[in-house]
Chain A
Amino acid sequence: MALKRYVVGCFDDEEVLFPAVKKVRNAGYKIQDVYTPFPVHGLDHALGMRETSLHTAGFIYGITGTTTALAGMGYVFTQDWPMNIGGKPNFPLPALIPITFELTVLFAAVGMVMTFCYLCQLAPFVRKHHFHPRATDDLFVMAIECTERTNVEDLKGFLQSAGAIEVDYQVAESGWWFGRYDIQPKLYAEENPVIG
């Protein structure tokens, strides 16, 4: 990963944020992300994000569970160790439904949560750059990535006019790294960062 330059605008109301997002995008700036303390519905569409396909992943994990359960029990009861229990059939489907259902749910849930953590890069000891400590409290923090053509001062003024209560210029690592939250990161030795 690399260091990047950002202009950060903080909003204190989602009803100001939405028009601001529209203005910033219309002006041609690239919004890296908006950090919000709670899910703001419609913001993903306003930012032009595509729908997540986590549901599809969940479905695939679910049918994997169904298949595993039926195949496993079928193998045990008909191939590996068939038993005559009161003359009942060796593959009694109705009696296998509860375990099949439970494994479907288990596979889907565990798989989805792991996929979610993987996609969002969430794990213990993972650290990321936080643009504002109040982004998890009461501020909606918009981070705009600067290119070599961006005029930082202009952009700051533009954000302020769009309703930002706080604007800021930050140079930050764009990815994640292993780290702890009680130790301040010092990722690069040199003072002048390499802009990626």
Chain B
Amino acid sequence: MHLKYESQIREPLVDGNKDYHQITEDIIRPIEAKPSRLWYIGFSISVALLLFGVYSVYRDVTYGIGQWNLNKTIGWGWDITNFVWWVGIGHAGTLISAILLLFRQGWRTGVNRAAEAMTIFAVMCAGQFPIFHMGRVWLAFFIFPYPNTRGPVWVNFDSPLLWDVFAISTYFTVSLLFWYAGLLPDLATVRDRAKTKFRKLMYGILSFGWTGSTKHWQRHEALSLVLAGLATPLVLSVHTIVSFDFATSVIPGWHTTIFPPYFVAGAIFSGFAMVQTLLIVVRKVLNLQEYITLGHIEAMNKVIVLTGSIVGCAYLTELFMAWYSQNEYEAYAFFYSRANIMSPYGWAYWGMMFCNVVSPQVFWFRKLRRNVTFTFFMSVIVNIGMWFERFVIIVTSIYRDYLPSSWSVYYSPTIWEIGFYLGTFGLFFTCFFLFAKYFPTIAVAEIKYVLKTSGENYKERMDKVEVQKVEEFANDYAH
């Protein structure tokens, strides 16, 4: 008797001869083992980067952001570039867990937990930039609308920058809740297997007393489904609102209606690339190749080639519109500041074009989609390209104002701007290393749920049933 059925054409999602207990063993074992030396090395480097970032930020607060190379026309430089870049990366997790859940993509079960964790850490990193870009960070609470003694002076609800505050804080909260609600059953699994007193205590607190009762599972399923339904438009709204920061301005190069879909596609593109970068390492180090299979990597590469092509389309549309509008300022922004390789930032534009549009096209080939080393390399290229995209959009649109007297000198970051960026890398990887060590990196319960339809050993058995039926059919109707 089979309770569920999945087509034989689909690749198994869990390789090897697994049963429920084996799944628990495979995924929880790294949590119970001592961290490897590689983990300590990686973690130390991350913490070192984080400390350098903390020092850079300390200097930003003490001396003011004048120590960055921002100037009269370039008010947004590396800081906002990095902000948009990190927010974009933070889109893959909730996309995988929410949109792919609604689309019933079975392969999401192997990668959703780590991708969601990555989302949360990326959004944490993103949030640092606008906060410290304010300059007087101790007044950051002014962004919240609350009855105050300053008039009351309210925030401007018409402003896209305020929409950002709401969008990003909502996105962070909802992603965190979604992630943690999914973690509860798995943390309970760790708790019930724990041998040491300390682990029992910690995972006992973290798992909220989860028992696995059928009624609780029923509510948990309902919660996941509704949260997925809520998070789906939320994912799309967040980068839409980030793109409004640019699109609602009247600056040539920013003032385009194509921005929302173009930014969302770019966000998914870079987010999936970051998921690949992390998971290719995680599956190797934690020995999870049977759960994050080549099939998973291939599926994500397909998303990368799709979204990369959408982004490419958007770039070409922008160029077309700059010509078709016959607006000389648009033409200057697109054909001189960007597409002309001899202009000061032409190299950044063509670097972006190469990394985002040309290079992902190799994923049309199945062999390359299923090549792990190559995918890792490509995922890094894509994220470099997406960083350049944000840099190009921001800096090439504002480095020359309408009057030549307002043309800025060539903008390059100071060590403290770079330090801040490196610091967020430190924060991101410190969190991710801790997550990979102390939390189940794969959703244990969800893998168990799909085992009987998508496990390799079960699929083989199902295959036999099918074959037999065909033979019987042939015998019955043979002449």
Contacts and interface: CB of A to CB of B under 8 A. Distances in A.
B468 interface: no
A182 B189 contact: no
B214 A49 contact: yes
A121 B184 CA distance: 13
B219 A120 contact: yes
Contact of B220 (A34, A42, A106, A116): A116
* Contact residues on A (Cβ < 8 Å of other chain), bracket: 35 or more
B192 A134 contact: yes
Given A54-B219, A109-B177, A181 B200 contact: yes
A18 B191 CA distance: 27
Contacts of B444: 37
Interface stretch (A76-84, A145-153, A154-162): A76-84
Chain B contact surface mostly: helix
Interface string A101-131: 1110110111011001101111111111010
A176 B208 CA distance: 11
A134 B163 CA distance: 47
Contacts of A49: 214-215, 218
B393 interface: no
Interface stretch (B19-27, B84-92, B261-269, B365-373): B19-27
Contacts of B163: 98-99, 102
A127 B204 CA distance: 8
Contacts of A105: 170, 174, 230-231, 233-234
B448 A37 contact: yes
14 contacts: A15-B1, A36-B214, A38-B449, A39-B218, A52-B219, A85-B158, A99-B163, A102-B166, A113-B223, A120-B213, A123-B209, A135-B192, A137-B21, A180-B201
Interface of A: 14-15, 18, 33-44, 47, 49, 51-52, 54-55, 58, 62, 72-73, 76-77, 80-81, 85, 88, 92, 95-96, 98-99, 101-103, 105-106, 108-110, 112-113, 116-117, 119-128, 130, 133-138, 141, 176, 180-182
Interface of B: 1-4, 19-21, 24, 145, 151-154, 156-158, 160, 162-163, 166-167, 169-170, 173-174, 177-178, 181, 184-185, 188-189, 191-194, 197-198, 200-201, 203-206, 208-223, 226-227, 230-231, 233-234, 237, 241, 244, 444-446, 448-449
